[in-house]
Amino acid sequence: MNKLGLPEDQIARARNLAVRIIKPVMDFIDGHTTVAVERASLRLAGADGADSDGVPVPNIVVDQLKDRLEGGALRWYINALLRTGLTPDGLNAQIADGLKIKDFPLSDPQAVETKAAQITAQYLARIETNRLHRETKLEQFKDKNHSPLLYVIVATGNIYEDIKQARAAAEQGADVIAVIRTTAQSLLDYVPYGATTQGFGGTYATQENFRIMRVALDEVSEARQRYIYLTNYASGLCMPEIAAMGALERLDMMLNDSMYGILFRDINMYRTFVDQKFSRMINAFAGIIINTGEDNYLTTSDAVEKAHTVLASQFLNERFALEAGLSPKQMGLGHAFEMDPEIENGFLLELAQAQMAREIFPQAPLKYMPPTKFMTGDIFKGIAQNTLFNFVSKFTNQGIHLLGMLTEAIHTPHMQDRALALDNAKYVMNNMADLGDEIIFKPDGVIIRRTHHVLSETLDFMESIARTGLMECMEQGAFADIKRPRDMGKGLDGLVKKGDDYWNPIEAELKIRLGGA
C-alpha cells in the first residue's frame, strides 16, 4: 500500500543514479581478484583443514601461489588432484603436511577443465540441496511463519554454550539466531579451523561451528515445527570464505554489506568491493538472505540530519546486490530506530523513515535494528524505547526485527533478557497485528512531509556522488562522517589484478546459474 505518495519518478531516478554510481566500481571489480576470493573458490572445490600450526589449507595454497594468483588458484589445485589421483580430503592432508602443489607441471588443459567441472558440480549440488531443504521446511511450517522474523543474538565465546542459549531463545519464540563473532575476527585474513570454545564478545565463525549450531537449531525446528534461521557474518577480510562456508552448512542469513568493512573496520575499499561481489554471488546461489549495515551509520551520524545517507546506501546496496545475482527477496536492507528520544515527534520521524523504506523496497525483507545509541542502562526507559520500536516495526511491516534488550548498554544479554524482549515484541505485535492496514497519513502531516524531504535530499546526495565518484566520496567522508583513503586500509596487499589467463570455474559456473551476474 502506498500511503506516502512518494513520486515514482524520483524513486526511479535514484535507482538510475545507483547504476551510474557503481558502474566504475563494477568495472574495477571485474578486473580483479583477491586472496579471499581465491580461498573461497578453493573451499568450494573441497580445500579444507589446517596444518599442525592451525594454518588453514586454503591459506597455505594461496600463499604458495602468491606470484601466480593473477591466473587463479583453482588451476593449480585441480591440477594437483589430477597429478596425485587423490580426493580433495586426501590432497588437503598432504598440503597440510607440506606438499607444494605449485611444483607440479600443469596437466592437459582439457583434463583440468573436465576435473574442475566434476568438482564444481559436486560442491554446488551440496549447496543446492541445502537450499531445497530450507525451502521445503519453510513450506512445511508455513502455518507457523510470521512477520517480522524475531531475531536475537548469542555471544558467549563458546559454541557449546551458544547452543544452550540459542535453543532457549528459539523455544521462547525467536525465529532467527545470530551467532556474534569474536571481537576483531573481521580483521583476521584467515578462518580458524574446527570447533572453538574461547572468544571475546562473541564466538569464532568457523565451518565446524556453523555445522554444530545448524544441527542444534534443526532439532528445535523439528520439535517446534517452526523453521529457525541461522545467521553469521560474511564480512571483513574473509567475507567470501565465510559466505562459502555458510552456503555449505546451510546458514540462512549473512550480514553482508558492500561498504561496512571500509567504513567501520578500515578495510581497504578496493579489497572490500571485490570481495563483496563474490560473497554475494555465493549467497545468491545458496538462497541466503543478506543483511546490510546502514544502521551503523546512525551510530556516528545524526539519525535526523543524515537520514538521506541511509536511504542512498540502501539504493547502492540494492544495486550491488542485483549485480551479484541476488533477488530483492534476499535483500535485508538495513536501517534503525536510532533517533534521540528527546526529540519532539521523534516517534513520527522514526515511523516515517521505516514506512519510506518499506514502500521504496516493497519485496525486501528489511532488517530493522533497535535503539542502541541512546540506551542508557535505565532498564525501564529501555523497555519503553523498545516497545515503541516494536510498534513501528509491526506497523510498517518490516521483515527482520532485531530485538532490543532492556539491558542494552549494560552487558551482553542473558537468557532472561531475551525472554523479556521476546515477550514484549510478541505482545505488541499480536495486539496491533492489522493496525497498519487501518491507518492512513495526513497529506500535509509530519510523516508525509518528512519522507518527501528525505527522498529529495537523497536524490541531491546521489547526484553529487554520481558527479564525484563513489570512491572519491568515501575518501571525503560522505557516509557515516568517516573518511577512508582508497590506497590505505587493511588487506590492500591481498588485491590482485586478473591476468589474461585468469581462470575460476566456480565463478564462471555461478555466473551461468545466476543469469550472468
Give the catalytic positions in this structure. 260, 295, 367
DSSP per residue, 56-77: BHHHHHHHHTTTTGGG-SHHHH
CA atoms lying within 13 Å on the CB side of residue 449: 5
Amino acid at 13: R
Q: Which three cell numbers stand for residue 463?
A: 547526484
The alpha carbon torsion through 159, 163, 165, 166 (nearest 10 deg) reads 120
* Residue found under cell 571475546: 200
The phi and psi torsions of 151 (rounded to 5 degrees) equal -115, 125
Q: What is the C-alpha to C-alpha distance for residues 23 and 388, in angstroms, rounded to an integer?
A: 40
CB 254 within 8 A of CB 233: yes
CB 316 within 8 A of CB 358: no
Total Cβ atoms within 10 A of residue 163: 22
Compute CA 221 distance to the chain's CA centroid, rounded to the nearest angstrom.
23
Q: What is the C-alpha to C-alpha distance for residues 250 and 215, in angstroms, rounded to an integer?
A: 10
Contacts of 252 (CB under 8 A, 6+ apart): 134, 176, 229, 230, 231, 288, 289
For residue 285, give the H/E element and its range.
helix 269-286
Bond preceding residue 365 cis, omega within 30 of 0: no
Largest interatomic CA distance in the chain: 74
Q: Which of 161, 297, 176, 283 is nearest to 234 (CA)?
A: 283
Q: Which three cell numbers stand for residue 287?
A: 538462497
The phi and psi torsions of 33 (rounded to 5 degrees) equal -130, 180
Q: Which of 6, 99, 8 is nearest to 47 (CA)?
A: 99
Which residues face 90 on adjacent strands?
A: none
Burial label for 480, CB within 10 Å (0-12, 13-18, 19+), is: buried
Burial label for 482, CB within 10 Å (0-12, 13-18, 19+), is: middle
Which residues face 179 on adjacent strands?
A: 154
3-state secondary structure 204-216: CCCHHHHHHHHHH
Q: What is the C-alpha to C-alpha distance for residues 372 and 385, in angstroms, rounded to an integer?
A: 10
